[in-house]
Structure 1
Amino acid sequence: MADNSSSTILSTPNHILVNMSSSSISSNSDLDLYLYQTARVLNGTSHYTFPIKKHGRHWIRLHFFPFVNENYNLSTAKFSVSAQNFTLLRDFQPQSGSVVKEYSLNITSDNLVLTFIPSAFSFAFLNALEVFSLPDELIPGSAKTIDPPGEYQNLWSQALETAARVNMGNQTVSPLNDTLWRLWVSDETYLKHSNLVTFVSNISAVNYKSGGPTQDIAPPSVYGTATKLDSRYNPDTTANVTWSFDVDPGFEYLVRFHFCDIVSTSQLKLVFNVYINSWLVAENLDLSNLTSTSFGAPYFMDVITRLSNSRIINISVGRSTIYAYPDGILNGLEIMKITNSRGSLDAMDQPSISSSKGKVRLIVGLAVGVFFTVVVLALVLFLVCRRRRRLAYVGHSTKDHFPMNGGGSSQTMESKFSHGIAVVSCSKFGYRFPFVAIQESTNNFSESLLIGVGGFGKVYKGVLRDDTKVAVKRGVSQSQQGLAEFYTEIEMLSQFRHRHLVSLIGYCDEKNERIIIYEYMENGTLKNHLYGSNLPTLSWRQKLEICIGSARGLHYLHTGSAKAIIHRDVKSANILLDENFMAKVADFGLSKTGPEIDQTHVSTAVKGSFGYLDPEYLTRQQLTEKSDVYSFGVVMFEILCGRPVIDPSLPREMVNLVEWAMKWQKRGELEKVVDPCLVDKIKPDSLKKFGETAEKCLAAHGVDRPTMGDVLWNLEYALQLQGDDERHNLNEELSNHSEITVSSTQFSVGSMGDLAGVSMSKVFSKMVRADIMRFTD
Structure 2
Amino acid sequence: MGCFGCFAPEADEDLKPSKPDDSSGADARRKVAPDVANGYAHSFTFKDLSVATGYFNDANFIGEGGFGKVYKGKISGQMVAVKQLARDGVQGRNEFLVEVLMLTVLSHPNLVSLVGFCAQGDERLLVYEYMPFGSLESHLFGNLSSNFLCFLFVLANDVPLGKNPLDWNTRVRIAVGVAEGLSYLHNVADPPVIYRDMKAANILLGEDFSPKLSDFGLAKVGPVGDRTHVSTRVMGTYGYCAPDYVQSGKLTIKSDIYSLGVLLLELITGRRIYDASRPKPEQNLLTWSRPFLHDKRKFYRLADPALLGCYPPSALNQLVVISIMCLQDQPHVRPIVADVVIGLKHIASQPYAPERTPASMSSPANSGSPQLVRTPSRKRGGRRSAQYA
TM-score range, shorter chain: 0.7 to 0.9
Q: Normalization by structure 1: what TM-score?
A: 0.40
1:453 to 64, 88, 92: 64
CA contact (8 A) 1:564 1:593 kept: yes
Distance 1:726 1:670 in 2: 25
| 1:417 and 2:36 correspond | yes
CA contact (8 A) 1:626 1:702 kept: yes
Q: Which residue is 1:546 aligned to?
A: 174
1:407-442 Cα distance to aligned partner (Å, 9 max, x none):
xx94562x53258xxxxxxx9x61001111100100
1:478 deviation in Å? 3.0
Q: Which residue is 2:122 aligned to?
A: 512
Partner SS state of residue 672, structure 1: helix
Partner letter of residue 335 of structure 2? P
| 1:682 and 2:316 correspond | no
Q: Which residue is 1:332 aligned to?
A: none
Q: Which residue is 1:501 aligned to?
A: 111
- Describe how 1:69-108 pairs up with structure 2 within 5 A: none
Change over 3 Å in CA distance of 1:652–1:443 after alignment to 2: same
1:688 deviation in Å? 1.0
1:647-694 Cα distance to aligned partner (Å, 9 max, x none):
233233211112222320211112112111224211121011100000
Q: Which residue is 2:93 aligned to?
A: 483
1:534 deviation in Å? 4.2
Q: Which residue is 1:570 aligned to?
A: 198
Distance 2:133 2:305 in 1: 22
Distance 1:662 1:687 in 2: 16
| 1:442 and 2:53 correspond | yes
Question: Any stretches of 5+ residues in structure 2 without a counterpart?
Answer: 1-24, 146-163, 368-389
Change over 3 Å in CA distance of 1:411–1:677 after alignment to 2: closer
Change over 3 Å in CA distance of 1:402–1:618 after alignment to 2: closer
- Describe how 1:763-774 pairs up with structure 2 within 5 A: none
Distance 2:189 2:133 in 1: 30
Partner SS state of residue 509, structure 1: strand
1:318-370 Cα distance to aligned partner (Å, 9 max, x none):
xxxxxxxxxxxxxxxxxxxxxxxxxxxxxxxxxxxxxxxxxxxxxxxxxxxxx
Change over 3 Å in CA distance of 1:480–1:636 after alignment to 2: closer
| 1:719 and 2:348 correspond | yes
Distance 1:736 1:430 in 2: 37
Question: Any stretches of 5+ residues in structure 1 without a counterpart?
Answer: 1-400, 420-426, 738-777
Partner SS state of residue 117, structure 2: strand
1:714 deviation in Å? 0.8
Distance 1:657 1:480 in 2: 25
Distance 1:726 1:457 in 2: 45
Larger radius of gyration: 1
| 1:659 and 2:287 correspond | yes
Change over 3 Å in CA distance of 1:727–1:438 after alignment to 2: farther
Change over 3 Å in CA distance of 1:584–1:412 after alignment to 2: closer
Q: Which residue is 1:523 aligned to?
A: 133
1:291-342 Cα distance to aligned partner (Å, 9 max, x none):
xxxxxxxxxxxxxxxxxxxxxxxxxxxxxxxxxxxxxxxxxxxxxxxxxxxx
1:728 deviation in Å? 5.6
- Which structure has more RCO (C-alpha within 8 Å, separation ≥ 6)? 2
CA contact (8 A) 1:460 1:471 kept: yes
Distance 1:562 1:411 in 2: 15
Change over 3 Å in CA distance of 1:729–1:674 after alignment to 2: closer
Distance 1:494 1:727 in 2: 44
CA contact (8 A) 1:685 1:722 kept: no
1:537 deviation in Å? 2.4
CA contact (8 A) 1:662 1:695 kept: no
Q: Which residue is 2:79 aligned to?
A: 469
Q: Which residue is 1:382 aligned to?
A: none
Change over 3 Å in CA distance of 1:461–1:417 after alignment to 2: same
Partner SS state of residue 241, structure 2: coil
Distance 2:77 2:307 in 1: 38
CA contact (8 A) 2:277 2:283 kept: yes
Partner SS state of residue 105, structure 2: coil
Distance 1:463 1:618 in 2: 41
Q: Which residue is 2:372 aligned to?
A: none
1:706 to 309, 327, 335: 335
Q: Superposition RMSD on alpha carbons, in Å? A: 2.5
Partner letter of residue 416 of structure 1? D
Q: Which residue is 1:431 aligned to?
A: 42
Partner SS state of residue 62, structure 2: strand
Distance 2:55 2:174 in 1: 34
Partner SS state of residue 462, structure 1: strand
1:100-128 Cα distance to aligned partner (Å, 9 max, x none):
xxxxxxxxxxxxxxxxxxxxxxxxxxxxx
Change over 3 Å in CA distance of 1:411–1:694 after alignment to 2: closer
1:454-512 Cα distance to aligned partner (Å, 9 max, x none):
11111111111x21010100001233631110001011111110000001100000021
- More strand per residue: 1 or 2? 1
Q: Matched residue pairs, number?
A: 322
- More helix per residue: 1 or 2? 2
Q: Which residue is 2:244 aligned to?
A: 616
| 1:636 and 2:264 correspond | yes
Change over 3 Å in CA distance of 1:600–1:565 after alignment to 2: same
Partner letter of residue 697 of structure 1? C
Partner SS state of residue 518, structure 1: strand
CA contact (8 A) 2:32 2:100 kept: no
Q: Normalization by structure 2: what TM-score?
A: 0.77
Partner letter of residue 560 of structure 1? V
CA contact (8 A) 1:489 1:588 kept: yes
1:179-212 Cα distance to aligned partner (Å, 9 max, x none):
xxxxxxxxxxxxxxxxxxxxxxxxxxxxxxxxxx
Change over 3 Å in CA distance of 1:710–1:643 after alignment to 2: same
1:596 deviation in Å? 1.6
Change over 3 Å in CA distance of 1:437–1:717 after alignment to 2: same
